[in-house]
Amino acid sequence: MKIHFKEISVMRVLGCWAVLSAALLLTNNLPAYAAGAGASDEDKPKSVAAADAGTSDNNMPKFDFGLSAGLSLMSLRNTHFGLGQQDVTYYAKDISRTEFYLAPRANMQWNVPEAGTVYGGFRPVGSFTNGDGDSWGLTASEHYNFQLNQPPSLVGKSMYRIDVDSAYLGWKSGDKLSFLDADGLDVSFGRQNFQLGDGMVLVDGNDEANQSKGIYWLDPRQAWEGAGLVRIKKDPYNIELFTLLTDKDSFNDVIAGGNFELVSKKLGKVGVSYFNIIDSEMDNRDGMSVYGLHARGNPIPSMPIFEVAGEVDFQKNSNPNVEAHAYFLEAKLFIPFLPWYPTVGYRYASFSGDKGSTSKNEGWDYLHNGATSNGFGYWYQGIVVGTYETRLSNLNTHFVNLTIVPPVQGSWAKILYYDHRFDDKSTAKIDGSAVSSNRFATEWDVIFGYSPSKKVDYMAIYGNATPGKGGKDRYAFPAPAAISDKNSTMLQFTVLVHF
C-alpha cells in the first residue's frame, strides 16, 4: 500500500524535528524506560496527567521547569468508508496532515511554616497543523483543492495557536489538621486539569477540534477554562467538590458537583458522583443532572495482577426531556510468567441512543470525555472509528486488547480489536433516520512503540476499520457519490517528548 503525505511542508517538518532532536539530546543519560506498557502518562495525546512540583527542604518557594512536545504525521485512506472528507469543497477520500505542539511548564511549591503548602502551575501551549485536516473538515488547513476539469489549487492556510492551557494556585493543609490525613484538605482554583472517575464523562474541558485551535489528535490542551476544586481525605474516604467551566468551543458549560469515594489500598476504590450543568449554550445540557457510580480495583487480594473496573451514569433533564444512560464493565489480567509479559483485557461499553418512537431524547451526550492515563483507544475507541467516525453516543462496543513487551529494551506493542454496534438503529443514520442493521463496524489497531527512556516515545500506529451493514447505510444519501462500503485505514507516526 502506498501512502502519500500530501502537502506536508518539508521545511516545517524539518523545523519540528529540529526542536524534538534538541529535546532528545537532553535526555540521553536518563534511565531506560520501565517495561510495561507504552508512552508515559505525562502529555500523551488526550492525557490528563499533571507533573508534581516536588518538595522543598526550606521555607522558600521551589520551582520546577519542564517541557513537552509532540509531532504526528497521519494518513487516512477511504475516509468515512469511502464517502470522503466532509465540510470541504472537494470530498477527498484520502487525506493526510501533520500536527505539532510545544508546551513548556513551570510548577511551584512553597512549604509555609505552620501553614501548609502553597502550590501552583503555569503551562502555555503552541500548536500547529498543516494538511487536509481531520475527516470532518474541522481542522482543514493548507491543502490542495481538486475539482473536475480544473487544475489543482492550493487553498486554506496552516493553522497555529499559542495560548495558556493551565494557570492555577492551590493550598494543601500538610499535617496541620489532625482530624484529616496528611494534606487531607486541598483547595485549588484556576485553569487546571480535573478527571471524574475513569474519565468517561468529565476529563477534558478544552475542545481543540476546530479552526481556532486546529489540532485534532495530539490534543495537548485539556485544562478546564476555570476550575475550583476542594479535596478532602480521611482514610478510607475521599471527597471531591468541584465547579468547572469549559471553553467557548465546548458551549461554555458551567458545572458544579461532588464525588465521594471509599478507598482500600488492597482492593481499590468505589465512588458515587453527582453534578449539574448549571448553564450551557446547548439546550439539551442546560440544567442537566448526571448521577454516577464508578469502581476500579483488585477484587482478589492474593491476585494483584487481576483488575476489574466499571461505571454507570444517568443523564436527566426536564426541559427538554432527556433520559439517557451509559455504562462499562472491564477486566484486565497481567501474566508475568509468560514470555513478553502479556496483559490481556476486555471491556463492554454502552452509550444509549435516541429512540425515534418516543418524545424523550434517550441519546447519551458524551459531554467532556477524552484521553486518560489508561492509554490508547480507551475513550477514543479506535484510531479510525472512535477518532474519525463517531463519539460516545448510540454505541455499544466490545473491546479486546493485548499489550506485550518484546525482549528489546524499551519496546512495547498493543493489539486492539473493536466490535461497534448501534444501540438504536432507528436513529443511527447521520441525518437521524434509520439504518437496516445495528452492526456499525469492526476495527483492528496495531501500535508498535519504542521508549528508550522515560522521556521519549516513538510510535507507529496502524488501524483498519470495516463497515458493517448499518455502517454502510449510515452515509447512504441519495447522491450517487455517497458510497461508503470500503475499509478505512490509518497509518500514523508519532513522537512524544516530555521532561
Contacts of 308 (CB under 8 A, 6+ apart): 295, 296, 297, 298, 299, 329, 330, 331, 332
Three-point CA angle 248, 251, 257, nearest 5°: 105
Report the share of the chain in percent with pLDDT over 70.
83
**Is residue 44 pLDDT above 80, yes or no?**
no
Q: Which of 359, 425, 342, 438 lies closest to 398, judged by CA?
A: 438
Q: How confident is the model at residue 192 (pLDDT cuts 50, 70, 90)?
A: very high
Q: How far apart are the C-alpha atoms of 79 and 85, rounded to whole Å? A: 6
Q: What sign for the dihedral angle of Cα 197, 231, 43, 141? A: positive
**Is residue 123 pLDDT above 80, yes or no?**
yes
pLDDT at 376: 77
CB atoms within 10 A of CB 445: 24
pLDDT at 155: 58
Q: What is the DSSP letter of 385?
A: I
pLDDT at 27: 39
pLDDT at 36: 35
The CA distances from residue 282 to 67, 252, 253, in Å, are: 36, 9, 8
The CA distances from residue 254 to 55, 111, 284, 327, 463, in Å, are: 34, 33, 14, 24, 36
Domains identified in the chain and CATH numbers: 10-498 (2.40.160.100)
Helix (H/G/I), strand (E/B), else coil: 392? coil
pLDDT at 478: 53
Q: How far apart are the C-alpha atoms of 459 and 37, rounded to whole Å? A: 12
Contact between residue 297 and residue 267 where contact means Cβ atoms under 8 Å apart: yes
- Condensed to tens digits (0 to 9), the pLDDT of residues 387-428 reads 999 989 999 999 999 999 999 999 999 999 999 999 999 999
Across residues 20-32, what is the average pLDDT?
39
φ and ψ of 23, to 5 deg: -65, -40
- Reported as type and span, the H/E element at residue 373 is none
Contact between residue 377 and residue 386 where contact means Cβ atoms under 8 Å apart: yes
pLDDT at 68: 97
The CA distances from residue 224 to 228, 245, 339, 390, in Å, are: 10, 6, 42, 23
**Is residue 17 pLDDT above 60, yes or no?**
no
The CA distances from residue 329 to 326, 365, 397, 403, in Å, are: 11, 19, 11, 19
- Condensed to tens digits (0 to 9), the pLDDT of residues 261-309 reads 999 999 999 999 999 999 999 999 999 999 999 999 999 989 999 999 9
Q: Which of 172, 251, 152, 240 lies closest to 205, judged by CA?
A: 251
- Reported as type and span, the H/E element at residue 111 is strand 95-111
Q: Which of 93, 78, 83, 98 lies closest to 495, judged by CA?
A: 98
Contact between residue 242 and residue 227 where contact means Cβ atoms under 8 Å apart: yes
For 173, the grid coordinates are: 493543609
Q: How far apart are the C-alpha atoms of 377 and 200, rounded to whole Å? A: 13
pLDDT at 70: 97
φ and ψ of 279, to 5 deg: -150, 145
Helix (H/G/I), strand (E/B), else coil: 17? helix
pLDDT at 475: 81
- Condensed to tens digits (0 to 9), the pLDDT of residues 131-185 reads 887 887 777 766 556 555 666 655 566 678 899 999 999 999 999 899 999 999 9
pLDDT at 144: 58
**Is residue 499 pLDDT above 80, yes or no?**
yes
For 433, the grid coordinates are: 433516520
In this structure, the dihedral spanned by the alpha carbons of residues 493, 52, 249 and 433, taken in order and rounded to 10 degrees, is 60
Helix (H/G/I), strand (E/B), else coil: 389? helix
For 246, the grid coordinates are: 469549559
Q: How far apart are the C-alpha atoms of 122 and 53, rounded to whole Å? A: 11
Across residues 104-125, what is the average pLDDT?
95
- Condensed to tens digits (0 to 9), the pLDDT of residues 198-238 reads 999 999 999 887 777 778 899 999 999 999 999 999 999 99
Instruction: Please state which of the ranges 199-208, 372-381, 453-462, 473-482 shows the lowest mean pLDDT.
Output: 473-482
Contacts of 184 (CB under 8 A, 6+ apart): 173, 177, 232, 233, 234
Strand-pair category, 62-77 with 488-498: antiparallel
